[in-house]
A and B are shown apart, each in its own frame.
Chain A
Amino acid sequence: MSDKKPCKSPDNEVLSGESRREFLKKSTLLTAIALTPGVAVKAAEGQWDEKLAGVFEKMLLHVEVNGVKHSLMVEPRVTLLDLLREQLDLTGTKKGCDHGQCGACTVHVDGHRVNSCLTLGVMVNDKKITTIEGLAKGDQLHPMQEAFLKHDGFQCGYCTPGQIMSAVACIREGHANSEGEIREYMSGNICRCGAYPNIVNAIQEVKDGGQTV
């Protein structure tokens, strides 16, 4: 090799467990100083054990999900998707790719549709989240849920929560004015069973029905 510096493979660039923890400890400590009582800070300074580090690797998150206010300690690397599914047991929001490529994880953040797999939990501090579980009013389904049932807008049902959340937003955004427009603006939600025509029909019905979504 002619270069003096050897090429670095991406693998070498991964922080080791220890250095990563050191980094997080230092950075979260700054946050911790701002957020937590002095006694905990003292404990942290005096005792760098794993358990305590675990606490300080977390950040405080205030978030309202489906009308319920939560105050949680979350690791900054936890996605909103995994937070909902693994910590709040709201499994209606689905994991399909973790890359924002399939739309199964679509939720509303302050009324806008987002891929929750591309959103860190800590990014939604003080925001209002609506998931599929929060769409119906008690036993009364949302018109979009009714329309999906009527038009059979699904088969296996796995992409369905994301499709429905996206469909509601699609109308709210003003992007459901024609069949073509609906198809275009619903193309971020993949359905492998192939329910697309039924999904389009369901959305059109709700749009044409003029109900508030």
Chain B
Amino acid sequence: MKDSAINKEGLSRIDGRLKVTGAARYSAEYTPAGMVYGVLVGSTITKGSIRSIDTKAAEKAPGVLAVISHFNCPKIPGYQIASTEAGKPEPKGTYKLFYNNKILFNGQPIAVVVADTFERALFAATLVKAQYTSQAYQTSLKNNTASAFAAGENGESKRGTVAAWKTAPVKLEQEYVIPSEVHNPMELHSIIAHWDAEDKLTVWDKTQGVKDTQDGIANIFKIPKENIQVNSKFVGGAFGSALQVWPHEVAAIIAARVVKRPVKLMLGRADMFTSVGYRPHTWQKIGIGATEDGKLVGISHEAIGQTSTYEDFNEEPVSVSRSTYACPNVNTNYKLTALDIGSPTWMRGPGEATGAFALESALDELSYALNIDPIELRLKNYAETDPESGKPFSSKYLNEAYKMGADHIGWTDRSPKPASVTKDGWLIGYGMGGGMFGAYRDQATCRAVMIADGTLLLQTAVSDIGPGTGTAMVSIAAEIMDIPAGKIRFEMGDSSLPYAPSQGGSSITATVGSAVNDACKELKEKFSQLAGNTETPDYTKILKDHNLSKLEVTTASKGGDNMNKYAMYSWSVHFVKVCVHPTTGVVKVDKVVCVADSGHIVSPKTARSQIVGGAIGGIGMALMEEVIIDHRYGKLVNNNFADYHIPVNADIPQIEALFINKPDPYINPMGAKGMGEIALIGMAGAVANAVYNATGKRIRQLPITPDKLIGINQSAMVNGS
């Protein structure tokens, strides 16, 4: 009998009860015997070197067990290689904790204090005093674009004629800027590290991938990865910030080694702004031209993103211009500028969200220049095959998504003339923007065990940072095995389980879902063979008849040749209605409709929440999120939620999430494509376009804060009268 909950609405979260009762334990919420606390001390200068660190007062403070810095840190074997060739500069790579006396960014951890209680560690950390030799530093992207260098393989690309847009009858060229944004998951990054033996380690760690964390720690500490147990049963959000082993994790592991006790280290919120990456501040310039009837002639897209001095972090801000629309001539150029700031990292949507803000804004600007409806302009340049590779798409129903979204937002209410609609003293505007992201299927392995009492146990080492991976996996298994979801137990977040990749790049449902699918089918087949028929087997009866306590399979699963034959993408389109106050410049998002073309929707209820959540992330990007650095000191000044604004409940209206819900025939057995990134990509452009439609003012520098709209009162009066 099928569970009635697996219907159109989808399953409620399988771990929901644990989450609403407070029983779900996140990484800082375990208490191994003898556990003590670590607190990091950050550099107060931005660049230079440490002359000395006075740790005496801290060491004498009550309860303190150790103060560790580069002066007394045990050698970390993984740091000692690579820098061997004399005279050559240190190869670039992730930041090495307590490695030498160099300060590379403000807030860089210079010491960790370990004490028997959190309060004692926190207090003692304030007693650590360092003497520095300061050097001149650069933290401004704007002042340093001249030193930008090509972003590796993503650096330069051209299709057709370079700068062909300049020859078009209707054209424009504009610059678009996004500030750095910080992931800020609600759960602070935390780890508990415990050495079980000299070369055997257990960690409870916030990570998007227990296997990658296991590999990362093994590489740093040069111990066999089988000796490292990584637990991450519940992850309180991450959005890309937990895809690598960060210095605070290394600090806790070292501290546990030094004090020979388990060490818990939880970052403070301020540390979250400097220690676990961010979406990089990026400058972009787009030149775009079209024929008078709206056919694109050419696009030129340049980007310069910031990175750190020690690591070249690059993503894909300009790729959207090559792949989104059918355009014969596209040239892109992507550079990096190294600044004395910590490294950026992937943040939801990553570079594609940055790029889509610029491209979707430029398309909107072009639509007004052409006097063509923005949706019509996109349909005129609809790509039927992948413009970059020429390959057919595995599936694409974006044109249906445009229509569905337009109907639901009430697009016909939009005036093509900006600043022409007011209601109750507010200016009203509509905007739209689209997103696309590669649909990937990686490899994963799932163990499926049918137990005598009819419970199906599924095991794979995936993490769930929030989208509801377990719920989606159980939905897939229940469907195939034809058993109630309540009879299925899904185990994950444990590095001893069969391989699954990190949760990132919108690929987990496609990847791990396929492994669950394949394992369940194999298990079912095994039962059918035992029973000698092909009907849906009575699992408990067959086990009993054959005197078996369980039957299990471990199935590895990966994509085939279809990945090469087809261009695989997920698409989204976001529609936004905004109200802008003409005097104060306040923007209120009044209505949002998002449509996702991401194949078959495996878990409708959680999928809807994922889209809504991504849209809200996009609203934050559009209207409020901005890292502010005081370049006089190289210090991030708004490192808290009072000064770094993210959307709160009062900022967000009801959001409609709609799905095309047509399976992709080629990507995987479920026909499911990824959704995490496209939920956000394109949203910031949609909001900016709506603000323009409402006010006649084009904001090309995010976030769209009221100060940037001051003065619209007058222009609105002129345009609107």
A residues sitting closer than 8 Å to B (CB atoms) are 11, 14, 16-18, 20-21, 50, 53-54, 57, 75, 77-78, 82, 85-86, 89-99, 101-102, 104, 131-133, 135-136, 141, 145, 148-150, 152, 154-161, 164, 182-184, 186-200
Identify A194's interface contact among B183, B268, B647, CB under 8 A: B647
Q: What is the chain A residue whose CB lies nearest that of B124?
A: A17
Q: What is the chain A residue whose CB lies nearest that of B18?
A: A157
Given A141-B21, A196-B647, A157 and B29 contact (CB-CB distance below 8 Å): no
Q: Are B640 and A190 in contact (CB under 8 A)?
A: no
Identify B19's interface contact among A21, A104, A157, CB under 8 A: A157
Q: What is the chain B residue whose CB lies nearest that of A99?
A: B640
Residues of A near B186 (CB, < 8 A) are 94, 96, 102, 104, 156, 158-159, 190-193
Residues of B near A154 (CB, < 8 A) are 13, 16, 19-20
Given A77-B119, A99-B269, A17 and B60 contact (CB-CB distance below 8 Å): yes
Report Cα–Cα, A198/B16, bound state, in Å: 14
Residues of B near A155 (CB, < 8 A) are 237, 466-468, 606, 609-610, 613
How many A-B residue pairs have C-beta atoms within 8 angstroms? Tell me.
201
Interface size on B, residues (CB 8 A): 73
B residues sitting closer than 8 Å to A (CB atoms) are 12-13, 15-26, 28-29, 31, 57-58, 60-63, 117-119, 123-124, 126-127, 129, 183-188, 234-237, 239, 266, 268-269, 465-468, 605-606, 608-610, 612-617, 640-642, 646-655
Q: Are B21 and A92 in contact (CB under 8 A)?
A: yes
Residues of B near A85 (CB, < 8 A) are 29
Given A155-B467, A183-B649, A196-B647, A190 and B641 contact (CB-CB distance below 8 Å): yes
Report Cα–Cα, A190/B39, bound state, in Å: 25
Q: What is the chain A residue whose CB lies nearest that of B10?
A: A152
Q: Are A152 and B466 in contact (CB under 8 A)?
A: no
Shortest Cβ distance from residue B448 to the other chain A in the assembled complex, whole angstroms:
26
Q: Are B25 and A91 in contact (CB under 8 A)?
A: yes
Q: Are A196 and B652 in contact (CB under 8 A)?
A: yes
Given A14-B127, A95-B266, A149-B12, A156 and B117 contact (CB-CB distance below 8 Å): no
Shortest Cβ distance from residue B13 to the other chain A in the assembled complex, whole angstroms:
7
Residues of A near B615 (CB, < 8 A) are 194
Given A131-B22, A156-B187, A194 and B118 contact (CB-CB distance below 8 Å): no
Report Cα–Cα, A13/B641, bound state, in Å: 26
Q: Are A86 and B62 in contact (CB under 8 A)?
A: no
Report Cα–Cα, A137/B183, bound state, in Å: 36
Residues of B near A86 (CB, < 8 A) are 117-118
Residues of B near A102 (CB, < 8 A) are 186, 269, 641
- Majority secondary structure of chain A interface residues (helix, strand, loop or mixed): loop
Shortest Cβ distance from residue B36 to the other chain A in the assembled complex, whole angstroms:
11
Given A132-B22, A150-B12, A158-B185, A187 and B650 contact (CB-CB distance below 8 Å): yes
Q: What is the chain B residue whose CB lies nearest that of A21?
A: B62
Shortest Cβ distance from residue A77 to the other chain B in the assembled complex, whole angstroms:
6
Q: Are A195 and B236 in contact (CB under 8 A)?
A: no
Q: What is the chain B residue whose CB lies nearest that of A166?
A: B649
The 8 closest A-B pairs by CB, nearest first: A92-B22, A158-B236, A194-B616, A157-B19, A194-B613, A156-B466, A132-B22, A155-B466
Residues of A near B465 (CB, < 8 A) are 156
Q: Which of B16, B31, B117, B266 has the most CB of A within 10 A?
A: B16
Q: Can you show 8 pairs from A to B with CB atoms below 8 A apart?
A: A96-B186, A133-B22, A145-B21, A155-B466, A155-B468, A155-B609, A156-B186, A193-B466
Q: Are A156 and B185 in contact (CB under 8 A)?
A: yes
Residues of B near A77 (CB, < 8 A) are 119, 123
Q: Are A192 and B646 in contact (CB under 8 A)?
A: yes
Q: Are B187 and A158 in contact (CB under 8 A)?
A: yes
Q: Are B614 and A82 in contact (CB under 8 A)?
A: no
Shortest Cβ distance from residue A82 to the other chain B in the assembled complex, whole angstroms:
6
Q: Are B234 and A194 in contact (CB under 8 A)?
A: no
Residues of A near B612 (CB, < 8 A) are 194-195, 197-198
Report Cα–Cα, A18/B62, bound state, in Å: 9
Q: Are A196 and B610 in contact (CB under 8 A)?
A: no
Q: Are A82 and B613 in contact (CB under 8 A)?
A: no
Shortest Cβ distance from residue A100 to the other chain B in the assembled complex, whole angstroms:
9
Identify B119's interface contact among A78, A95, A156, CB under 8 A: A78
Q: What is the chain A residue whose CB lies nearest that of B31?
A: A89
Residues of A near B642 (CB, < 8 A) are 99, 101
Shortest Cβ distance from residue A48 to the other chain B in the assembled complex, whole angstroms:
12
Identify A96's interface contact among B25, B187, B653, CB under 8 A: B187
Shortest Cβ distance from residue B619 to the other chain A in the assembled complex, whole angstroms:
8
Residues of B near A89 (CB, < 8 A) are 31
